[in-house]
Amino acid sequence: PPAPPQHAPLPVLFQDEWYVAVHKPSGLLVHRDERHPDAPAVLQIVRDQLGKFLYPVHRLDRATSGILIYGFSSKDAAALQAAMTDGGAHKGYQALVRWPGSFPELGDRWVCDRPLHDEKDVPREAKSEFALVESFRRCALIECRIYTGRYHQIRRHLNHCGRHILGDTTHGKGRLNELYRQRYGLDRLFLHASRLTVQHPRTDVLLDVQDPLPIELAGVIDKLRTEAAADSSAAT
């Protein structure tokens, strides 16, 4: 069979002799599975890009973009996994969410610790923290921090709070997704893993990896800011 098409190299955000962190684009698998045996995936792309074996430390949903980190040995990957469960580690995301006038009790900063059911319908402890960054007409840019790593945790918690992520075709609203696609060019999930801080298991210094919003998401924010400025001018 023909070889799968080659994917462009991924931007490297951090690399030393034990770990590498890269930017994962939205729509790209973390690794291949039985349903997508020949699809491009970050693990294979970066392995070929660096010429080294890689061992996953954590995952991102296919639709989510942002920081993905791998170890160059299974031992180092496991050590970083353990460090990321420590209370001092920080996994930060940015999301554009529906921001209705209701739910004032949530305020501009809130925590959701509603348990989430796994694939066997067993409730699992989950905790997410959210904070307002910038508000617009009917939506807002927020920062998200997760303390647990449940399936679709941020998306499910925000949906439970009535502030689902725009562009979310699983937990969001199709009508709103279409509106933001047509008006602002948002044709993907607006969820981005923007920052990872964790104690480096080998050097014992704080590893701080950051990844700014990709151009397609930054463009949506620019359009929202332009619209907000026009609304402000019209009001005055």
The catalytic position among 16, 38, 61, 118 is 61
- Give the pLDDT of residue 7: 78
The mean pLDDT value for 64-89 works out to 93
- Give the pLDDT of residue 183: 95
- pLDDT tens track for 186-212: 999 999 999 999 999 999 999 999 999
Q: For residue 200, which phi and psi values (nearest 5 degrees)?
A: -70, 120
- Give the pLDDT of residue 137: 87
Residue 64 has pLDDT above 60, yes or no: yes
Q: Is 61 a catalytic residue?
A: yes
- Give the pLDDT of residue 34: 66
Residue 41 has pLDDT above 60, yes or no: yes
- pLDDT tens track for 83-139: 998 878 899 999 999 987 655 556 788 999 999 998 888 999 999 999 999 999 899
Query: Model-level pTM?
Result: 0.91
- pLDDT tens track for 164-184: 999 999 988 899 999 999 999
Q: State the DSSP string of the chain.
A: -PPPPPPPPPPEEEE-SSEEEEEEPTT-BSS--TT-TTS-BHHHHHHHHHTS--EE-----TT-EEEEEEESSHHHHHHHHHHHTSTT-EEEEEEEEE--S--GGGTTEEEE---EE-TTS-EE---EEEEEEEE-SSEEEEEEEESS--TTHHHHHHHHTT-PBTT-TTTS-HHHHHHHHHHH---S--EEEEEEEEE-TTT-SEEEEE-PPPHHHHHHHHHHHHHHHHHHHHH-
Among 208, 202, 159, smallest CA distance to 72 is for 202
